[in-house]
Amino acid sequence: MPLTHRARLSLRCFTLSSLALAALAATGVAWAEPPLVLQPTLQLPPPPRGDKARQRPIILLADELRARPDLDALAEGHVEFRRAGTVIRADRLSYDSADDLAVARGNVQILREGSSFRGPELQLKVQRFEGFFLQPEFDLPLLGSGGRADRVDFLDSARSRLSNALYSSCPRDGSGDPDWLLRASRVRLDTETNQGLAEGAVLQFLGLPILGLPVLSFPLSDDRKSGWLPPNFGLDSRSGFELGIPYYWNIAPNRDATITPTLLTRRGPAVGLEFRYLEPRDRGRINLELLPHDRVAGRSRLGWTFDHAGSLRDGWTYKANLFRVSDDGYWEDFPRLVPTITPRLLPLDLQAERSLQTPVGPGLLYARTLRWQVLSARDASAAIVAPYDRGPQLGLRLEPTLGLGLRASVETELNRFTRPQVGGARDGQPTGWRWHALGQLSRTWGDAGWWLTPKMSVNAASYGTDQPMSDGRTRASRVIPTLSVDTGLVFERNSRWFGRAQRQTLEPRLLYVNTTYRDQSRLPNFDSADRDFNLVSLYGENAYSGIDRVADAHQLTAGVVTRWTDALTGAETMRLGVAQRVRFRDQRVTLEAGGAPLTQKMSDLLFEGSTALVPNWHFDAAVQYNPDIRRTVRSNLTTVYVPGPFRTLSLNYLYARGLSEQLAVGWQWPVYRGSARPVGASSGCGGTLYAVGRLTYSLSDSRITGSIGGLEYDAGCWIGRIVAERNSTGRNNATTTLHWQIELVGLSRLGSNPLQVLKDNIPGYRLLRDPRVVSPLAAEP
C-alpha cells in the first residue's frame, strides 16, 4: 500500500516496530491487541548509542513512502532513516526487510557516533552495520578534520576499511589542495581495539612528502598506544643538529615509558628515557639522559631526575625530588635538560610527614634530608655561594587548642648541617648540629573594619659544632623573646572613576616590634639571610630569614594601602601602598661577626602600586627610596599592553643601585594577515604571522644577557613555529638553541617544542590553539 505525497503532513515522522506494521497502520487497519497509535512530531530525537540503539525501532522520514508489509519499502524525497544509532539521509532509499538491507542513492549522508560520511551511493545492512559506501567524504568534528576515500567497506559495527584514503584538517571545499594531508592506500579502523592501521602512508606538507612509512598505526581516541612518535629535531650552538625519534611504550593503564634514541651531530648518539607511573598510593616520574661518549668532552655524560609522591595507610606521606648530572659543565652544554630556575644548584630532597591529633591540638611530624649538587662555571667570574646540606632534619609542629580566643603554635627541629662540594672541594665554613624551638602566643580582637593582635614569641636554639667557635667552644645556646602588636583599620566608600562605579578602601596599618638583644656573633650561621625589601618583610618581626640570626629590634612599621575594585565584578582596578619602618634604637645584630650596626633611624621608603584602570593596559611598580641619600635604591617597573587575543607588549625595568640595571621587552604580535586564499589552501598565504620574543639588556654591563625571538604562522589547520633562544651562562659565554615545529591540527606535532619557553618568558603570551589531546602518530614496530 503506498503512502503518497498527499499524506506527507500527517505522516511526516512516525515510529514503527516494523515496516509492515507501519504500512498496515497507515492504511487504517485496526489491531485488537495492542492498539497502535501514530503520533506525528516535527522533531526527531537524537540517535541512541550502544546496546540500547540496537534495540530501538526504525524511524523514517520522507516526502513519499511506498511499503509492502514484511517485504520492503521505498522512500523518496528528503529521506531520513534512523535505526540502531545510525542516521541515513538521501534523495532515494529502498529497504529490504528480510535482509535488513538499506540502499541509498543521491546526496547520501550517514551519521554515526559523531562522524559523518557523504557520497553518491550506500548499501548497508543496518542492524549488523555491514556494507559499503562509494566515493565518500567524511568529517570528524571532534578533531575538526576529515577526508575522502574511493570506497569504505563497513565490516561490522566496530570495523571498517578505507581504500585510497586522504585525511586532513585543512579546507576540503575544492578551493585548493590542502596544505597538509595524509595519504594511505588502505586504512583499517577497529573501535573495539581502539586502533587504526594505515598501509602505504605518506604525510605531505605544502605538496612535498615529509614522512613516509609502510605501516602507520594510531589510536582512535585519547587512549594511549605503543609505537613510534613523530621525530624531534632542533639546533644547538654547543651540540649541533639534534634528531630524536621517540618510541612510546604503553606498559599498562597506569604505567608508560618514552624511549628516545637521539643523534647529536657534534657529540654523538644519545638516548633519553621517561618513565611514568600512577599507583593507588604512589605516583612519580623518572627521566634519564645518557650520552655514552661525548666526542667534544671526551667522556660519557649523564643526567637524571626522579620525582615521587606517595602515602602509607597509617597517615604518613612522602616525597622525593632528586636531580643529578655527571659533571660541572652539564648545565652549560645541555640547558634544555636542566629545566630549573637554579641550574647550578641541583637538589636531592627526601621528605616525609604525618598529621597528628594530640591531646593539646593538631600537629605535624616531619623528617627531611636535603643535599645539593653545586655546579661550577667555566667563567671564573660566575662564582656561586652554596647553601648548606641538611640531614637529618627532624621536626614537630603543634597548634595547641586554647580558650578565650588565644592562638598558639610551637615548632621544634633537630638539624645536621654539612657543606656541599664545589669544584671537588669543600670550603672552610663551620658544620654541626642545631636544635631550635619557636613558640608563639597571640590574641586577636576586631571585626570587618579593624583588628588588634598582640603577640609574644620566642626563638631558642642550641648548637654543637664540629669546629671550635671563635671563643673556642663547640657548644652554645641562646633564647630570644619578641613582643609585637599588629593593628589596622579598613575604611570603605563608593566612588566613580572614568565613568565606572568603584568601591575604594583605605587600610592603614601599624606594627610594633620589640626584640631583646642577644649577642650572636660567635654562633654559626647555617640558614639566615637578609630578607628581600617588600611589604611582607617590612611587616615581619625579624629582618632575617631562617633561624640562626634574630635581629634585635625596637621599631614601628607604619603604612597604608588604598584599593579600588569594580563595584560590579569585584576585580581590582588600582592599588597604591606606602610603608616605612622607624627604629627607636640601633640594630646591633648582623649576619656576619664584626658587621657594622645598623644606625639608620628611618628605613628606606617603599612605594608599591598597580592598576588596570586604563583599558588594555596593566601597570605594576615597586620603588625603594632612601631618604638619607635622597636616591632610589631599587625599583621594579612593569607595563603590559594587551589590546586583544594574541596581542601583547610588555616592558620591564629592574634597578638595584650598585649592582645591576636591566631592561626587558617582550612581545606577541601579528605582523602579517593574509587574505589571498582560504586559510589552509596550498599556494596561498591566508594565515596570520605572529612575531614573538623577549629581549633582556643589561644597562650596567652594556650587553644582552638573554634573548628569545621567533615567528609563529597560523594557517588554521597547521601552525609553524621557529624560535631562537640565547641564554647567557657567564659574562663571556652563552648558549644558543633553535627550535622549529610544525603543528598539524588534528594529527600531531613535528619538531622541538618551544611553547614552554614562550610561556615562561613572554608576559601575557597565549597559545594560538587551546591545549587539546591529539592522537599521536605511531609507526608499527
C-beta separation of 392 from 414 below 8 A: yes
Decide: 775 and 257 in contact? Cβ < 8 Å.
no
- Per-residue pLDDT tens over the stretch 460-503: 999 999 999 888 899 999 999 999 999 999 999 998 877 788 89
CA dist 184 and 166 (Å) reads 7
Mean pLDDT of 520-542: 92
- Look up cell 551511493; give the residue: 121
Mean pLDDT of 318-338: 91
Average pLDDT over residues 52-74: 76
Residue 62 has pLDDT above 60, yes or no: yes
Quickly state the pLDDT bin for 29 (edges 50, 70, 90).
very low
Residue 381 pLDDT: 62
The average confidence (pLDDT) of the chain is 85
Least confident of 44-53, 429-438, 543-552, 722-731: 44-53
Within 8 A by CB and 6+ apart from 146, the residues are 137, 138, 139, 140, 167, 168, 169, 172
Q: What's the whole-number mean pLDDT along residues 358-380?
A: 89
Split at pLDDT 50, 70, 90, the class of 678 is: very low
d(CA 264, CA 414): 48
Q: Are 583 and 589 in contact (CB under 8 A)?
A: no
In this prediction, residues 308-314 reach a mean pLDDT of 93
Does pLDDT of 221 surpass 50? yes
Q: What pLDDT, on the 0 to 100 scale, is given for residue 586?
A: 94
Identity at 630, one-letter amino acid code: R
Q: What is the pLDDT of residue 304?
A: 96
Q: Which residue has the higher pLDDT, 405 or 193?
A: 405
**Contact yes or no for 539/484 (Cβ under 8 A):** no
Percent of the chain residues past pLDDT 70, beyond the cut? 87
Higher pLDDT, 342 or 562: 562
Q: What local confidence, expressed as pLDDT, does residue 746 receive? A: 75
Determine the pLDDT at residue 377: 76
Per-residue pLDDT, averaged over 351-373, amounts to 94
Q: Assess whether pLDDT exceeds 50 at residue 164.
A: yes
C-beta atoms surrounding 576 within 10 Å: 15
What does the alpha-carbon distance between residue 299 and residue 780 come to, in Å, rounded to a whole number?
Answer: 35
Spatial neighbors of 227 by CB under 8 A, at least 6 apart, are 217, 218, 247, 248, 777, 778, 779, 780, 781
Q: Above pLDDT 90, what percent of the chain? A: 51
Q: Which segment of 25-34, 212-221, 346-355, 428-437 scores lowest on mean pLDDT?
A: 25-34
Angle at 284 between CA 280 and CA 285, to 5 degrees: 145
Q: Are 373 and 409 in contact (CB under 8 A)?
A: no
- The distance between the two most distant Cα atoms of the chain, rounded to a whole number of Å, is 116
Of these ranges, 30-44, 100-114, 379-393, 617-631, the one predicted with the greatest mean pLDDT is 617-631
142 in helix, strand or coil?
Answer: coil
Q: How far apart are CA 97 and CA 75, in angstroms?
A: 14
Q: Which of 45-49, 244-248, 654-658, 659-663 has the lowest mean pLDDT?
A: 45-49
User: What is the average pLDDT across 18-32?
Assistant: 29
pLDDT band at 55 (very low <50, low <70, confident <90, very high): low
CA distances from 373 to 349, 388, 420, 421, 733 (A): 11, 11, 7, 7, 22
> What is the spatial distance between Cα 694 and Cα 652, in angstroms, rounded to a whole number?
11
pLDDT value of residue 514: 97
Grid cell in block for residue 29: 487497519
Lowest mean pLDDT: which of 225-229, 584-588, 774-778?
Answer: 774-778
Q: Compute φ and ψ for 759, nearest 5 degrees.
A: -65, -35
Number of Cα atoms under 13 Å in the Cβ half of residue 289:
20
**Which of residues 664 and 51 earns the better pLDDT score?**
664
Tens digit of pLDDT for each residue in 76-107? 998 998 876 778 899 999 988 888 888 999 99
Least confidently predicted of 66-70, 263-267, 299-303: 66-70
Cβ neighbours, 10 Å, residue 503: 16
Q: Above 80 in pLDDT, residue 194?
A: no
- pLDDT for the residue 5: 37
Q: Could you list the beta-strand ranges (E) of 97-158.
A: 101-112, 115-125, 130-134, 137-140, 145-148, 151-154
Report whether pLDDT(448) > 60: yes
pLDDT value of residue 177: 77
The per-residue pLDDT for 220 is 67
For the segment 254-261, the average pLDDT, to the nearest whole number, is 96
On the question of a cis peptide bond just before residue 171, with omega within 30 degrees of 0, the verdict is no
The whole-number pLDDT of residue 273 equals 97
- Mean pLDDT to the nearest integer, 534-549: 93
How far apart CA 397 and CA 392 sit, in angstroms, is: 17
777 confidence band (pLDDT: 50, 70, 90)? very low
In the predicted structure, residue 35 carries a pLDDT above the cut 90: no
**pLDDT of 780:** 39
pLDDT tier at 380, thresholds 50, 70, 90:
low
Q: What angle do CA 344, 346, 349 make, to 5 degrees?
A: 155
pLDDT attached to residue 424: 65
Using a cut of 0.85, tell me whether the model's pTM lies above it: no
pLDDT tier for residue 126 given thresholds of 50, 70 and 90: confident
Q: Do 72 and 97 form a contact (C-beta atoms < 8 A)?
A: yes
Kindly indicate the confidence band of residue 604, based on its pLDDT and cuts at 50, 70 and 90: very high
User: What are the Cα distances from residue 466, in Å, to 320, 524, 580?
Assistant: 29, 11, 41
> Quick check: 299 pLDDT over 70?
yes
Q: Looking at residues 269-291, what average pLDDT do you find?
A: 96
